[in-house]
Amino acid sequence: MPSSEISTKPYLLRALYEWCVDNGYTPHLSVKVDSRSQVPSEYVRNGEITLNVSPSAVHKLQMGNELIEFSARFAGVARQISVPVACICALYARETGHGMTFDVDAPKPAAQAEAEKETGRPGPSNEAGPSLPAPAPPTTEPTKPGGGKPRLRRIK
């Protein structure tokens, strides 16, 4: 994708959100939290947080191409939430589990970002290539969801 081309991810997120709301479902965002994410840290588990983004749960929702921002109450306290679109793992309907998972874009190392800025060309990435070893497969079996809300499972 050319560096000036906008990712399809924010458009898909907005479409899925609208689909959930139009069907009376509760849209949930699954977020891989990093230093760019502004979320209540006490609700982060294993580096991820799931956020209810239904119209009744959030205020002033802005789903931009780079950030998703809104305010919401956590234990009765209003909090401002800001999540980079790059950190979104999934958007799905709580009631059915239907939705979509996404690859999470890891932040670029400072040296790579600086080289891209100087040359105007992308440097080496984490995409599959001859110079990067393949990641090791997980050593544990995924846990089966218990009763309660549906869970998405990423299949590669």
Question: 105, 34 in Cβ contact below 8 A?
Answer: no
Kindly report, residue by residue over 35-49, the tens digit of the pLDDT: 999 999 999 999 999
Kindly report, residue by residue over 47-76, the tens digit of the pLDDT: 999 999 999 999 999 999 999 999 999 999
CATH code, residues 9-119 = 2.30.30.220
Alpha helix (H) ranges present in the chain?
9-22, 110-119
Q: Using 50, 70 and 90 to split pLDDT, how confident is the model at 28?
A: very high
42, two tokens: 């006490």
Alpha helix (H) ranges present in 2-143?
9-22, 110-119
| pTM for this entry | 0.66
pLDDT at 121: 47
Kindly report, residue by residue over 108-129, the tens digit of the pLDDT: 444 444 444 454 544 433 333 3
CA 93 → CA 38, 52, 110, 127, distances in Å?
23, 10, 36, 30
Question: Could you give phi then psi for residue 10, rounded to 5 degrees?
Answer: -65, -30
| Integer Cα distance of 125 and 129 in angstroms | 9
E strands, 33-96, where? 48-52, 58-63, 67-74, 77-84, 88-93
Q: Where are the domains of the chain?
A: 9-119
